[in-house]
Amino acid sequence: MRKITTIKRTVLQSVQRKRVAAYARVSSGKDAMLHSLSAQISYYNSYIGKRGDWEFSGIYADEAITGTKDTRPEFQRLLEDCRSKKIDIVITKSITRLARNTVTLLQTVRELKLIGIDVYFEKENIHSLSTDGEFMLTILASYAQEESRSVSENQKWRIRKMFAEGRPNTGNMLGYRLFDGKLYIIPEETEIVKDIFDDYLSGMGPNAIVKKLNDAGIYTKSGAEWCKSTIHKMLRNEKYSGDLLLQKTFNMDHLSKKKQINRGELPMYQVIDSHEAIIDKVTFAKVQFEIERRAVKFCYKPQPKKQYLFTSLICCGQCGKHYLRKQANAGSKYMKPIWICATFNFRGKNSCPSQQIPESILLEKTAEVLGTTELDMDLLKKSISKIRIPEHNRIEYIFMDGRSVEVMWENPSRRESWDEAMRQAARERKLSIDERRHK
């Protein structure tokens, strides 16, 4: 008698494909950037496509932004998508592509490691989820940071040598272009510069000049709308009178790249009549005198900016600008703090049809969303990345983990907030008006 062995049917399990994204920093310049980005997309498509258990989830690329900064927009978008669990593995060419700052690199890798996301560095052949990954990253990132410092010092030496020779290192200003170490006039832009100086001498203030330029559809050299600070810088820029004052600012260090005004820490170099002037020296001197005269007359003393609970957190869904805090009905008994779109505040509802929001409403709705009775700045920074106002009576809260919550609100009627004394005063005012009309 033959023995029959029964074999159970095996169900093949489908392989869960890993979602793999790449991060890169590409060359500056439109053509160079597009070519580099196209080449890298093609490379990573092929590289990731060779693995049957991987699928391409896109490439995040910042244009020629130094790896020492953590404010790169595509880098931040990559982190947001990782936090939203849209990516399983991040690939980058080398440690220096992700960050040259050792602290930034390790903080990023550790954060992604906690949520189970691996970072693979091709050049160094390191996986952040491996047992010795962080140790190797710490050593190699320190070398990368030191290399960044060395490059920065060489660059500073080169720029300071140029300054000592009387040559500027940048010509990013309206009316001029820098070519071969010298500023040359751009005729089609000179009239705008002259009009700004003439308008100021005629009595117009920076805000009025800004409004005039923006209303006329005239934009800055970068294509942005004008603002008060841009006008101030132009009026004080000695380059428009044909002179140069070099090394007015300097970078504090190679990591933060934060600019600081030179108040004697480093030598400055003045070059008289270095290039063709747009504004003659007499007119330029008159403008400087007028700036000082107005400063004395109005006794303007710049105040340090106050940080409120929602500062830099609320953005307008209509125009994209941030909301500002101000006092509505200032000086009256109805005075209350509100938050208002910067465009609406400075340019009116024709430029942005947004809506102001009482601070009391923001506090109430934010506390509800966070499930707390006490709000503080630390809690907001840890929990919420942005508060967006998409349209009237709607608030959208975008959390650090990528979630979003939308709430509705209504502005309580002033009449509902009146007490009996206020209602009686209103009745008496109405009776008095009626009597005057009758007479």
Range with lowest mean pLDDT among 55-59, 133-137, 402-406? 133-137
Encode burial over 146-161: b for 16+ CB neighbours within 10 A, e otherwise: eebeeebeeeeeebbe
Query: Is this model's pTM higher than 0.85 or not?
Result: no
Q: Which CATH number describes the domain made up of 165-298?
A: 3.90.1750.20
Provide the pLDDT for residue 113.
Answer: 85
What is the C-alpha separation between 142 and 270, in angstroms, rounded? 39
Rounded to 10 deg, the angle between the 281-298 and 187-201 helix axes is: 40
Is the pLDDT higher at 159 or at 239?
Answer: 239
Instruction: Copy the structure tokens of residue 353.
Output: 């049809």
Is the pLDDT higher at 53 or at 420?
Answer: 53
How many CB atoms lie under 10 A from the CB of residue 67? Answer: 22
What is the C-alpha separation between 340 and 354, in angstroms, rounded? 8
| Res. 285: pLDDT tops 90 | yes
Amino acid identity of 76? Q
Provide the pLDDT for residue 69.
Answer: 47
| Res. 439: pLDDT tops 80 | no
Provide the pLDDT for residue 414.
Answer: 54
Question: Which of 155-159, 204-208, 317-321 is most confident?
Answer: 204-208
Provide mean pLDDT across the span 141-160.
64
What is the band of 68 on the pLDDT scale with cuts at 50, 70, 90? Answer: very low
Q: Domain 18-148: which CATH class?
A: alpha beta
Provide the pLDDT for residue 21.
Answer: 92
Mean pLDDT (the chain, rounded): 80
Is the pLDDT higher at 107 or at 28?
Answer: 107
Return the percentage of the chain with pLDDT > 90, whole number.
19
What is the band of 413 on the pLDDT scale with cuts at 50, 70, 90? Answer: low
Provide the pLDDT for residue 67.
Answer: 45
Is the pLDDT higher at 360 or at 433?
Answer: 360
Is the pLDDT higher at 245 or at 311?
Answer: 311
Q: What residue spans define the domains of the chain?
A: 18-148, 165-298, 314-417
Provide the pLDDT for residue 137.
Answer: 66
Rounded to 10 deg, the angle between the 187-201 and 228-236 helix axes is: 100
Helix (H, G, I), strand (E, B) or coil at 184: strand
| Res. 216: pLDDT tops 80 | yes
Provide the pLDDT for residue 432.
Answer: 75
